Structure 1
Amino acid sequence: MTSSLHPHWDTAREKRSLTLRFVAFAILLASLLLGGNAGAERMHAVVVVSYLAISVASVATARYLPGRSWLTTLFVVLDALLVALLLYAHILAGPVTANHNLTTTSLVVAFILLVHVGLKLERRLVLLFSAIVLIAWVTMLAMTAARHDASGPLSLLGAFFNQDLGLTVSFGFTAFAIYLLARDHDRTRKEALKADQRRQNLSRFFSPLVVSALQEKGDVLGLERRSAAIMFVDLRDFTRFAEAAPAPELAFVLAEYRQLVSQTIFEHGGTVDKFIGDGVMAVFGQPRPKEDDADRALACALDLVDILTDWKNHNACNNHPALDAGIGLHYGTVVGGVLDSGCHSEFTVIGDAVNVAQRLESMTKTLQVPLVVSASLMCRLQAPAPEAAWVSHEAVVLPGRRLPVDIWCLHRETGSAHPMSLPSLRSR
């Protein structure tokens, strides 16, 4: 798993890590060539050559075998062992009477490789590297103290707690600080991943503008009464098709249909409230109502009529199920927001306007039309309704509702009559 949300972040970090690796190699090589490590030249040469081989292998792995975490761990262990070998060359490899103080080169390389591991921003790697180096370092210091002074426990402790141990403690403190930074980065990354996952989940149902509003407000989007345009889209005879269709074909048709509908809704600034089988419920004006909610909803419905008609014709030409769709559209007052139901919270709208829109969609089958729009929505339009083959029906009684509604039906025949100029047909 990468430690960043975006791949180019990991690439930039790998470049910095590579730079530090070759800086460490340059220091090692310069120290060897300048001859500042008397008595440890051979060991130092082994460390330089080994480190160069590990660096080349690390670069090749990052280039040709990306994402292999076990290889990354292996290179970190090898780097730690090389640091331990370098420490050994200056602490234990020489005679007992020799000076065992660490050179500046040894310290610089140890700290540079620690920072190099820290740039990977993985706690386990920082912990692994620093643990190997510290254990080796403290063990060598203890062995050195025992070799130099074994006259008694107090003198042994005095020989152990010297300046070199202070350097070891400094290295351990630096390693601990880098570990804390890696831990904080890991927490931040997990929170960012969760936020990104929430955004992706929201983007499946809401337009980008609504997703942004939800992220800004978070859980404060309580239930509020507001005006909105409600749309229901449903496929006709889908149940009959679903009973006989193979599961793969059913899934393909349903997924393609949902994608067409939801994408069109998002393009018009609407919100997909929910999917109900082959039905789609959309809202325009949730969570923030706008003056043109009715206009965008009607434009979306008209586009869906054309898009779903083309989809049906395309399927028919390719021997796929050709299903008609019906759309109901209404404007009214709803109660919308986050509806908390214990273990599951839903961002939705409820109210009579929702029921009316659903029943208008059901009427499309009865009237054999692709779109039924309430007069309430037509009255909310900021611009004149698009010219089409509209037919009005007054006082239509909807099943399960006491008050009748005036509606406008869009017939499939082409026409240029303006909706308000058409004669009214009274239905009871």
Structure 2
Amino acid sequence: MTSSLHPHWAFEREVRAILLRFVAFAILLANLILGSREGAETTQRVVVIGYFIISVASVATARLLPGRSWLKTLFVVLDALLVTLILYAHILAGPVTENHNLTTTSLVVAFILLTHVGLKLDRRLVLVFSGIVLTAWVTMLAITAARHHTASVSSLLASFFNEDLGLTVSFGFTAFAIYLLARDHDRTRKEALKADQRRHNLSRFFSPLVVSELQERGQALGLQRRNAAIMFVDLRDFTSFAETATARELAFVLAEFRQLVSQTIFDHGGTVDKFIGDGVMAVFGQPRPTEDDADRALACALDLVDALNDWRNHGVRNGYPALDAAIGLHYGIVVGGVLDSGCHSEFTVIGDAVNVAQRLETLAKSLDAPVVISSELVARLRSPAPAAAWISLKAAHLPGRRLPIDVCYLLRENASGGVEHAPAYETGVSQTALQRSVFQSSPPAPDVGTV
């Protein structure tokens, strides 16, 4: 798994690895120049030349072919084989009668290269390197013991369990410690990547403040009953457009629509609960309700009316069909939080208030209105509703709901910028002229209708 977190760290580790290779090469070269073990000069030269070639190739491939895991494994295996050659030169290459005491500085290279592998912070590479070296080391010590003591089993064991084996055990413990460090780093990195990915996913749906709270509280956000404003935004005639549009056109229009709606929702402190085809469900008051949820939701809806109207006109000028949007807005009690369904956890809201908001959006389509709001939301406004051509509709029947509900809606602007007449079958009272401006700076207006 490649981390995108602090990419300069990988470069710093590579620089340290190059420095360690230089130290190891300097030690090998010093041993060769100052005098190596008799009979091992040829092996030492092969090790020095081979290590130099491997080091140059390793640095070059790290620069020219980054991210090739098989190349990293290959160089680790080659390093381990060079250490095996060094062990051979000091354990098996000498005469049988000679005392094999592994105190030469050449063996320091084994520990340096082990540290070099550990800097890669890949436990798999640590296992490969230490596995090859330890296997070769123990095998050579066993062969040496067999060559020197063949009289009895006890003599053989006594010869095998000596200070040379102690150095091997020290190398093994060092390798194990480095493996544990690499494993812990791997776990930490994976957790960091998961957290980074989770934050990225959350940022697609929630405002930055909500993302921070979700990151801090995590699964503590269980299902709770709370008040919230629910908004549904949906495109009209999008299905007809999808039947004839190309896949590229469809993706372009839908992406623009979602980006515009979600950004406007975020700007007003709302949460995008989910995308449903060409629709968007938003919540104001999740995961933490505030006193001005209804005000921010209405401000967001009115800003969306303007923004989506401009977006539609821009699309028409560029050859796209006129796609109007309908918005339904309601306030009520919801059950919200993290809904765990086994293989997938979702942060969402459910309840009758959600169903009402969705049906208000459907009603907005039948009324050819850009936005329909419920009387419950109006009752929760802390400030008077902004000046607009609101029409009050008493006892509106919503599909699938037994009790009617009082609503208010806006008239849609026609192509020339005027306001279309209300449908003949509706009754209501128009409050004021359509004068949209920034919600917070709108002059106080009378309460919407008699709701």
1:416 maps to 435
Q: RMSD of the alignment, in Å?
A: 2.8
**TM-score with structure 2 length normalisation?**
0.85
* 1:272-421 equivalent positions in 2, closer than 5 A: 272-341=272-341, 344-383=344-383, 385-387=385-387, 389-399=388-398, 400-409=401-410, 411-412=412-413, 413=418, 415-416=434-435, 421=445
Q: What is the distance in 1 between the residues matched to 2:383 and 2:36?
A: 85
Percent sequence identity over aligned pairs: 73
Tell me the secondary structure at the aligned position of residue 368 of structure 1.
coil
Q: What is the distance in 1 between the residues matched to 2:105 and 2:306?
A: 74
Q: What is the distance in 2 between the residues matched to 1:130 and 1:16?
A: 20
- AA at the equivalent of 1:197: Q
Question: Per the alignment, do residues 172 and 3 of structure 1 end up closer, same or farther by CA in structure 2, a change over 3 Å counting?
Answer: farther
Tell me the secondary structure at the aligned position of residue 96 of structure 1.
coil
1:215 maps to 215
Question: What is the CA-CA distance between 1:7 and the residue it aligns to?
Answer: 2.6
Q: What is the distance in 2 between the residues matched to 1:335 and 1:113?
A: 58
Question: What is the CA-CA distance between 1:350 and the residue it aligns to?
Answer: 2.5
**TM-score with structure 1 length normalisation?**
0.89
Tell me the secondary structure at the aligned position of residue 369 of structure 1.
coil
Contact 1:326 1:364 in 2 (8 A): yes
Q: What is the distance in 2 between the residues matched to 1:156 and 1:116?
A: 35
Question: What is the CA-CA distance between 1:254 and the residue it aligns to?
Answer: 2.2
Residue 174 (structure 2) pairs with residue 174 (structure 1) = yes
Tell me the secondary structure at the aligned position of residue 78 of structure 1.
helix
CA offsets 1:43-92 (integer angstroms, 9 cap, x no match): 22321222121111111111110011110001000100111111111122
* 1:11-160 equivalent positions in 2, closer than 5 A: 11-35=11-35, 37-160=37-160
Q: What is the distance in 2 between the residues matched to 1:250 and 1:261?
A: 17
Contact 1:392 1:422 in 2 (8 A): no
Question: Per the alignment, do residues 226 and 92 of structure 1 end up closer, same or farther by CA in structure 2, a change over 3 Å counting?
Answer: same
Tell me the secondary structure at the aligned position of residue 233 of structure 2.
strand
Tell me the secondary structure at the aligned position of residue 101 of structure 1.
coil
Contact 1:328 1:362 in 2 (8 A): yes
- AA at the equivalent of 1:212: S
Q: What is the distance in 1 between the residues matched to 2:148 and 2:47?
A: 26
Gaps of 5+ in 2: 419-432, 437-441
Query: Which deviates further from its counterpart, 276-285 or 183-192?
Result: 183-192
Tell me the secondary structure at the aligned position of residue 355 of structure 2.
helix
How many pairs were matched up? 426
Q: What is the distance in 2 between the residues matched to 1:385 and 1:116?
A: 68
Gaps of 5+ in 1: none
Contact 1:39 1:94 in 2 (8 A): yes
Q: What is the distance in 1 between the residues matched to 2:318 and 2:28?
A: 70
- AA at the equivalent of 1:351: G
Tell me the secondary structure at the aligned position of residue 205 of structure 2.
coil
Contact 2:272 2:283 in 1 (8 A): yes
